[in-house]
Structure 1
Amino acid sequence: MNGVFHKLKTLILSEAFGGILLIICTLFALLVQNGFLSEYYRNFLNLKVGFSVGEFELNKPFLLWINDGLISIFFFAIGLELKKEFLHGDFRNPKNIILPFIAALGGILIPALFFTFINIGDLYTLKGWAIPTATDTAFALAILMMCGKHIPASLKTFLLSLAIFDDVGAILIIAIFYTTKLSIFAFVVAGIAIFIMFILNIFRITRKSFYFICSIILWISVLKSGVHATLAGIITAFFIPMTTKEGKPFLEDIYESLKFWLTFVILPLFAFANAGVNLSNIDLNTIFSGVSIGIFLGLFIGKQLGVFAFSYFAIKFKLTDLPQGSNLKQLYGVSILTGIGFTMSLFIDGLAYEVSDIFHYADNLAILIASFCSGVWGFIYLKFFTHHSKKGV
């Protein structure tokens, strides 16, 4: 019995568990949405929650609190990781940046071109061009960890680094292409909050409550500005000091304290809230519509093609090297896994098409199917076809 509990504890504490939990939440959401609890599920997501102070009011459905609020904490964690990598991690050496940066660039451009080519001529549908450009790090990493010890650790580092640049790309896309009517007053308030955090950083003040208050003000002002609120998360992260005045870790402690909430609460709740595809309204016309085909081909074909092709030519022209101890077959296998868009693709889909059932959920279904195919094919390829390859083959 102790052996069973030990194995269960090891699984829960492993990096792969986050992806497994997301799979469970996805299946549960599909079950609830398409079962007798569907009305309760929709009522739960549409429940208005908010507050008002004088004339100021913030009142949103619970789904938007998840997609605008909780997911900002996810982007905050990405910002912390990015800052740590540039100041004290692998990204201090420019050589370590080249391959994941070029791979991420290919993984954004090629899927976007796939989607655009398929949907050219339909201006509304084209709003979703960025949906297949995203990668779900937790899912992809979980599959990679399941593939066995013959996969070198350098490929895990490559995938994580690529995912960071991929997420930065998503943030820029959201800021530039999915911004609504702008509010100058809200921008001024956001600027004041940023300036205060800048001063706190300069003097290395490490009272967490100060940063928390500033981040809340920044989040609300960015939300009201017309720019997507998730940007507040990554902006806040850039102003968190690396250490205290005494030299003790500060940023790292915050990042570590967030891991539990990200793995067990925020991302699972996001998956549960967004993966509930209503299968009853989906027909062949919507399944084979331009948006569905564009998403599927963009994620499953375009993503792996873009990541691998850009990586291959960067290595071939000696701009960079293969990850240590790996070969091209293994690199291609990791490229397949980047087609697991899932949470980030669902998130961008919600921004592109604000009415969730405009395509009768066929767009969401295409994301799930493409992510599933990428995960299964990536696992099979890495597990069974990359064992005895020599380096560079």
Structure 2
Amino acid sequence: MNETLDKIKKIVSSEVFGGFLLIICTILALCVQNSFLSEHYREFLNVNVGFNVGNFALDKPLLLWINDGLISIFFFSIGLELKKEFIQGDFKNPKNIVLPFFAALGGIIVPAAIFVLINITDPYTLKGWAIPTATDTAFALAILMMVGKKIPPSLKVFLLSLAIFDDVGAILIIAIFYTTELSVVAFVIAAIAIFVMFILNLLGNTRKSFYFICSVILWLSVLKSGVHATLAGIITAFFIPMQTKEGQPFLKEIDESLRFWLIFIILPLFAFANAGVNLSNITMGSIFSGVSIGIFLGLFLGKQVGVFLFSYLAIKFKLATLPHEANLKQLYGVCILTGIGFTMSLFIDGLAYEVSDIFHYADNLSILIASFCSGIFGFIYLKFFANSKKEI
């Protein structure tokens, strides 16, 4: 009985289960939005939630609390993973950084270039150039794990490493290109919060409450500064100590404690809130618009070509080596999976085009279709065509 429970617990906490849960929430959002419950769905997401403290006021629809608040916790977890990798993991050896770094760079440059070329005549649609540059790590890993033992474990490490750089790239893009008017006062408060966390880290303080208070102040100030609030999550992560003064793991404990919330609440809720595409308003014209085509080709074609091309060049010029026991066929299969933009692409889409129905949801539909095609094509390719020992 205990063995069965342990197996169930292991499956539920795995990346595969997380990916399936996202799929379920996506289907649920699509069904609800396109049924008699659609009005209640939109009303639920547009409910205003906020508070006032003196002259400070924060009042936002629930959808923005999810996209600005809960998703910051997701970026916080990415920051923890990044710090752990650089100090104790694969990134500690500079040679292990080269391949995923170049792969992520190609996965940003090529999809963005495709989108820009298609939409170059319209300044407004060009705002969405970053939409096809993102990869949904949970989905991509879920598909890769479903392929089974035919794929060497080193490719999972490669995909995880690539995803970290990909997410850092997304954070930089959000911080640099998707900001509004900047507030000097908010930046000063953010700087003070960062300084306090720096001192706490320097002193080796591991009181979670102190870091929590500083992170909330930092999040609120960054939110009010004009820079997107998700940046606060990854900044906070960099100041979390690796271990306590007694040598007990501290960062790892926080990271593991977030896993349940990310898998069962934060990412599924984000998917449910953002994947509700109203199919009734989509026209053939919007489906074949520059934005829709740019997103689809950027994600489905641009990501796999960009990631593989830059990886191949890094290997060809001996800047990096192939992951252990992997061949180029298998590497290319993993590159296909990076076209699963889903949650991250939907997130950037919301930043680029603030009015959600400006394209009658055809932009969101393109993200879902491109992600679906990348996942299906990637799975079929890896399962049936990438197990050969011969190179391409």
Name the SS for the 2:20 alignment partner: helix
Give me the whole-angstrom Cα distance separating, in 2, the residues matched to 1:6 and 1:88. Answer: 28
Distance 1:11 1:213 in 2: 34
Specify whether residues 148 and 121 from structure 1 end up closer, same or farther in structure 2 by C-alpha distance, changes over 3 A only: same
1:290 alignment partner in structure 2: 290
Matching residue of 2:275:
275
Deviations 1:217-246 (A, max 9, x none): 000000000000000000000000101111
SS at match of 2:60: strand
Contact in 1 for aligned 2:241/2:250 (Cα 8 Å): yes
Separation in 2 of the partners of 1:36 and 1:194? 47
Q: How does 1:237-386 map to 2 (within 5 A)?
A: 237-386=237-386
How far apart are 1:10 and its partner, in Å?
Answer: 4.5
**In 2, Cα distance between equivalents of 1:313 and 1:7:** 42
User: Unpaired segments of 5 or more residues in structure 1?
Assistant: none
CA distance in 1, matches of 2:170, 2:265: 22
Q: Partners in 2 of 1:147 and 1:245 — Cα distance?
A: 42
Does residue 1:77 correspond to 2:90, yes or no? Answer: no
Contact 2:154–2:325 (CA<8 Å) still a contact in 1? Answer: yes
Deviations 1:325-352 (A, max 9, x none): 0000000000000000000000000000
Matched with 1:38 is: 38
Corresponding pairs, count: 392
Cα distance in structure 2, aligned partners of 1:2 and 1:246: 33
- Aligned identity (percent) is 78
RMSD: 1.3
Name the CA distance, whole Å, in 1 between partners of 2:325 and 2:50. 52
Secondary structure of 2:58's counterpart equals: strand
Question: For the residues of structure 1 that align with 2:234 and 2:369, how far apart are their CA atoms?
Answer: 30
CA deviations over 1:87-126 (Å, ceiling 9, x no partner): 1100010000000000000000000000000000100000
Could you tell me which residue of structure 2 aligns to residue 187 of structure 1? 187
In structure 2, the residue corresponding to 1:243 is in which secondary structure?
A: coil
Q: Provide the C-alpha distance between the structure 2 equivalents of 1:37 and 1:6, rounded to a whole number of angstroms.
A: 38
Cα offset, 1:364, TM superposition:
0.2
- SS of 1:146's partner is helix
Q: Which amino acid aligns with 1:327?
A: N
Aligned to 1:11: 11
Give deviations 1:22-80, integer Å, cap 9, x for gaps.
00000000000001111110000000000001111100000000000000000000000
Q: State the AA in 2 paired with 1:269.
A: L
Query: d(CA) in 2 for partners of 1:186 and 1:6?
Result: 47
Please report how far the alpha carbon of residue 317 of structure 1 lies from its aligned counterpart in structure 2 after TM superposition.
1.1
2:73 and 2:7 map into 1 onto residues whose CA distance is: 30
**Matches for 1:96-111 after TM superposition, within 5 Å:** 96-111=96-111
SS across alignment from 2:355: coil
8 Å contact kept, 2:104–2:165: yes
Verify: 1:122 aligned to 2:122, yes or no: yes
Misfit runs of 4+, over 2 Å: 1-11
Structure 2, unaligned runs of 5 or more: none
Q: Give the counterpart letter for 1:389 in structure 2.
A: K
Q: Deviations over 1:154-180 (max 9, x none)?
A: 000000000000000000000100010
CA distance in structure 2 between the partners assigned to 1:167 and 1:315 by the alignment: 23
CA contact 2:13–2:260 (8 Å) conserved in 1: no
Describe how 1:47-66 pairs up with structure 2 within 5 A: 47-66=47-66
Q: Secondary structure of the equivalent of 1:347? A: helix
Partner AA of 2:118 in structure 1: I
